[in-house]
Structure formats: structure tokens, C-alpha cells
Amino acid sequence: MVRGGCVPILVMVRQKSVISASDWKSMLPDMSRVPEALKEDFMAVLEKHSAIFANELPPGLPPNVLPCRAIPLEHGVRPIYRQRHRLSPLENEVIEKEVKSLLDKGLIQPSISPFGAPILFLPKPDGTLRCVLDYRELNAVTIKNRHPIPRIDDIIDQFRGASVFSNLDLVSAYNQFQLQLKDQQASAFSTPQGHFEWKVLSLGLTNAPGVFSRAMYDILSPLMNGPNRCIVAYLDDIAILSKTPEEHVKYVEMTLKLLHDAKLLVKLRKCHFFQPEIKFLGHILSAQGVQADPQNLEDNPADGLSRLHGTLVKSASIVVLPALSPSLMDHVVAAYSADSRFTDE
């Protein structure tokens, strides 16, 4: 009971999932490629920025808000609501766990929005189900954000001359940016557990790649242009390039500082440092040039070759489309019909 004259205060504690100063080293990836003469300096760089290393997002809203709206609607559009689909017991179990997790993390909230998208399910390679949101009708009336997504062939050109590579993995990248308040109602979706709306950016929205690219460009542009250019970024794929191991330490430090200043979290155990080659956007890039990922060629030669030659041959995607594997064709259909996981892991 609150006594007269007292003012009640609600204190909210944000639980930390960030790796502590004492145990972040236990999450290090393979460091065997780091030259022994540079290892001490490089470890000092990682320790300096260890506050941004995390395994998952901590509960609560991320500190960053998108720099522009993600769901601006065409003039005169009425709220779009689609009745949810009937779910199997297994699907209901999956969505119940997903909703609870997102609520616990503070990424969604109960909604009374007149908007509503239904849920679909796609099979994962391991046989489990992935929740997706069917935003097709909402996307059709959304004013498109035309912030340019980098061309893959332009990105590949930037790798020329580099011989040392690292790449960084952000934790649930899209979910590290809050939606602007005006967009939250339009993001609503219905489940057997209730009606909810996103507080953070979600996959599946037609403008998600554009607004995310804009946000990341605002953060990383000092190292993407000009004399200090040492990184390339395609959505949440961030690669650091250098000609020598010595300058690579400097470039990793500069990149981590930008991410640290922006309070973006990095999944340390999924990063790769000081590599002679890296996989990037379906290619293997090294000092020797560009080649198709052998895994793609092994699974289906047409898939792998289309990824490589699509940057070199005009209309290659049209020519090779009939030869694509059923799994990739299914992915293309799914991308157009319901391009959204609930969480961007």
C-alpha cells in the first residue's frame, strides 16, 4: 500500500545478455588465423569492445530507432486485416512458444490495431517449423522506400586487392532497431494467443531491407567511403578487408568502435577473423578472386553457377531459372509469398 504523500515509482530492470568482462573470452571463435605477433594487440582490441558481444538480445527495447518510417501507407488506405488460419496442434505449439519469447524480450506487445496479418509456417532443413508473417496485402499498399541496396557485383569489386578478411555477425540484426511509433499498428498480426504488434523491425515488410540498409549506412559510412574505406556491408553481412595483417587489426578496431558507439550487439562466436578467404553472398572471395561456393555447386550445379555468373552475364537468372533446384525454387516462392521469420536469428 502506498502511504499518503508518497509517489509510486516503477523501476524496470533490463536483464543483460551481454557477455561479461570475465567470460567473453570463452565465446571467442577460432583465432588460429591471427598472426602470433599480432595476437596480443588484437585481443586488446576485442577486450576494449567486449561490451557489445552478446549471444542474444537482452530483454527490453534496443536503443536505436529507425531513421525513417518502415510502413508509410498510400493515401486513403483502409486498415488491412486478414483472418488467421486454422493451425495444427504442432503449429499452435510453435507459435505459442514464439509469442511468449517475443513478449518476454519486449519485442512485441498486445495490440488493438485494426490491422492484422496471418501466420504461415515453412519447414526448416532440420524438419522443424519456422513461423512467418504474410504481409503481402500490407506490402502492396506500402509506399516503397527506394534507399539503394548495394549491388552484389559492386561489392565484389571492392574485394579486389585485399588478402586478409574478417566478417562480423550481428545479433538478430533487424530486431536491434525500433520501429517508429506510427508504424507499430500496421505491423500487427493475429495468433491463437491474441493480437500483437511489433515494436522493432521485422522481416517480411517490403521496406525492411531498405530502411535497415539506410540505418546501417548511417552508422558504417565513415568506413564504407573515402580514404578509410575498409568494409563492405550488404544488409547485416559486414566484411572487413585489408592488404596486410597489421592494417587489419586497425580496421577491425575502427569497425568495432562504430558498432560500439551505435550500441549494436555482435555475436562473437559467429564472427571470423583474419581469414584468407570468406564466404560472402553465395561467393567465396579471396586474394585470388571470386569463385562459386563449392557447397552450392555440390548441392545443385545450376544454383551455384547462377550465383557466380549472375554478376557477370546479362539475364543469367532468367536463363538458369528452369534448372534451379526444387529447394531453391521453393525458397523463391516463399520469399515472395511470406518473406518473414518472427525473429532474425
Residues 185 and 257 placed together within one structural domain of the fold: yes
> In the chain, which residue ranges form alpha helices assigned H by DSSP?
36-48, 89-105, 136-140, 152-158, 181-184, 208-220, 245-261, 294-299, 301-309, 316-320, 326-338
pLDDT value, residue 14: 44
- Specify the CATH number for the domain of residue 37: 3.10.10.10
Residues 213 and 291 placed together within one structural domain of the fold: no
Query: Does 339 fall in a domain?
Result: no
Residues 84 and 228 placed together within one structural domain of the fold: yes
CA dihedral 94, 100, 102, 108 (to 10 degrees): 110
pLDDT value, residue 264: 97
Query: Does 35 fall in a domain?
Result: yes
Residues 293 and 172 placed together within one structural domain of the fold: no
pLDDT value, residue 298: 59
- Domain end among 266, 281, 296: 281
pLDDT value, residue 27: 86
- Count of beta carbons in the 10 Å neighbourhood of residue 218: 11
Task: Express the helix, strand and coil content of the chain in percent, nearest 5 each.
Answer: 40, 20, 40
8 Å CB contact between 341 and 203: yes
Task: Please name which of 336, 345, 343, 330 lies closest in space to residue 122, comparing C-alpha atoms.
Answer: 330
Query: Does 5 fall in a domain?
Result: no
Query: Does 211 fall in a domain?
Result: yes
Cα dist. 46→34, 43, 51, 72, 138 in Å?
13, 5, 9, 40, 42
pLDDT value, residue 289: 79
Angle at 268 between CA 151 and CA 212, to 5 degrees: 35
Residues 203 and 109 placed together within one structural domain of the fold: yes
Residues 291 and 160 placed together within one structural domain of the fold: no
What confidence tens digit (pLDDT) does each residue in 227-278 have?
Answer: 889 999 988 889 999 999 999 999 999 999 999 999 999 999 999 999 999 9
Can you give the length of the chain in residues?
Answer: 345
pTM comes to 0.80
Residue 103 burial class via C-beta count within 10 angstroms: exposed 0-12, middle 13-18, buried 19 and up: middle
What confidence tens digit (pLDDT) does each residue in 25-62 have?
Answer: 888 999 999 999 999 999 999 999 999 999 999 999 99
Residues 179 and 295 placed together within one structural domain of the fold: no
Residues 73 and 37 placed together within one structural domain of the fold: yes
Which residue reads 534496443 in cell numbers? 62
Query: Does 86 fall in a domain?
Result: yes
Query: Does 15 fall in a domain?
Result: no
Domain ranges, residue 264: 24-281
Task: Please name which of 58, 54, 44 lies closest in space to residue 20, comparing C-alpha atoms.
Answer: 54
* Structural domain total, the chain: 2
pLDDT value, residue 299: 57
pLDDT value, residue 98: 94
- pLDDT in 10s for each residue of the chain, 345 residues: 444 444 433 333 444 455 555 588 888 999 999 999 999 999 999 999 999 999 999 999 999 999 999 999 999 999 999 999 899 999 999 999 999 999 999 999 999 999 999 999 998 888 888 889 999 999 999 999 988 887 878 887 888 889 999 999 999 999 999 999 999 999 999 999 999 999 999 989 999 999 999 999 999 999 998 888 999 998 888 999 999 999 999 999 999 999 999 999 999 999 999 999 998 888 888 888 788 777 765 555 544 444 444 554 444 444 444 444 444 334 433 443 444 444 445
Q: Which residues contact 8 (CB under 8 A, 6 or more apart)?
A: 2
Task: Please name which of 250, 205, 246 lies closest in space to residue 231, comparing C-alpha atoms.
Answer: 250
